[in-house]
Chains A and B, each alone.
Chain A
Amino acid sequence: QVLLQESGPGLVKPSETLSLTCTVSGGSISSYYWNWIRQSPGMGLEWIGYVYYTGSSNSNPSLKSRVTISVDTSRNQFSLKLNSVTAADTAVYYCARLNSATLGGFDIWGQGTMVTVSS
Chain B
Amino acid sequence: QSVLTQPPSVSGAPGQRVTISCTGDNSNIGPRYYVHWYQQFPGNAPKLLIYGDNNRPSGVPDRFSASKSGTSASLAISGLQPEDEAHYFCQSYDTTLSGFWVFGGGTKLTVL
Interface-located stretch among B11-19, B67-75, B78-86, B103-111:
B103-111
CB contact list, B81-106 vs A, under 8 A? 89, 91, 93, 96-106
Shortest A115–chain B CB gap in Å is 15
Which of A64, A104, A109 is within 8 Å of B46, CB to CB?
A109
Across the interface, name the chain A residue whose C-beta is closest to B33: A104
Chain B interface extent, by class: 20 to 34
Q: Does any Cβ of A come within 8 Å of B52's Cβ?
A: yes
Across the interface, name the chain B residue whose C-beta is closest to A110: B45
CB contact list, A63-109 vs B, under 8 A? 64, 94, 98, 102-107, 109
Q: Is the CB of B2 within 8 A of A105?
A: no
Known A102-B57, A104-B93; contact A61-B48, beta-carbon cutoff 8 A: no
Q: Is the CB of A44 within 8 A of B98?
A: no
Q: Is the CB of B34 within 8 A of A61?
A: no
CA distance A104 to B100 in the complex (A): 11
Which residues of the partner chain A approach B99 to less than 8 Å between Cβ atoms?
58
CB-CB nearest 7 A-B residue pairs? A103-B52, A105-B51, A105-B36, A109-B45, A102-B51, A45-B103, A47-B101
Residues of B at the A interface (CB closer than 8 Å) are 2, 34, 36, 38, 44-48, 51-52, 55, 57, 89, 91, 93, 96-106
